[in-house]
Amino acid sequence: MQFRVARHTNQIKEIKDFYIKVLNFKILGEFQNHNGYNGIFIGKPDLSWHLEFTTTHENVDHHFDKDDCLVFYPTTQQEYDEIIERLELHHIKPIKSKNPYWNDNGISFLDPDGFVVIVSPFRIK
């Protein structure tokens, strides 16, 4: 089974830059004017998941909670350290998570749409 998280955004360029430049994801595909939608698929090649971000002429009105998070687990110390370095390079400040577990077990920050993204070292081999 494969998995996709799809989300609509008004800031597709900022979202694209964030997930590529900070988390080092790759563009896996793009589409234009598919029934009025433009979008990108972002992730890591050869994995069974990816993120899809779409945009239209409509204004997005997100309703989310601070417990709604994307959690990523780098598998090497180098990958984790490089993400932390890129966060600092792009002046992205960590935030305090609503769930105290993530304050002890990862680093939390916001993507350009204000969604919480967490990077945890728990899967480092």
31 touches 37 (CB < 8 A): yes
What's the rounded mean pLDDT across residues 20-45?
A: 97
Spatial distance between the Cα atoms of 125 and 121, rounded to a whole number of angstroms: 9
Structure tokens at 41: 């698929």
The predicted structure's pLDDT at residue 37: 98
pLDDT score, position 15: 98
CATH code for the structural domain at 69-119: 3.10.180.10
Per-domain residue ranges of the chain: 3-55, 69-119
pTM tops 0.75 = yes
pLDDT of residue 60: 93
Q: How many residues appear in the chain?
A: 125
Binned at pLDDT 50, 70 and 90, residue 125 comes out as confident
DSSP string, 7-18: EE-S-HHHHHHI
Query: Could you tell me the CATH superfamily of domain 3-55?
Result: 2,3-Dihydroxybiphenyl 1,2-Dioxygenase, domain 1 (3.10.180.10)
What is the structure's pLDDT at 36?
96
H helical segments located in the chain = 12-17, 77-89, 100-105
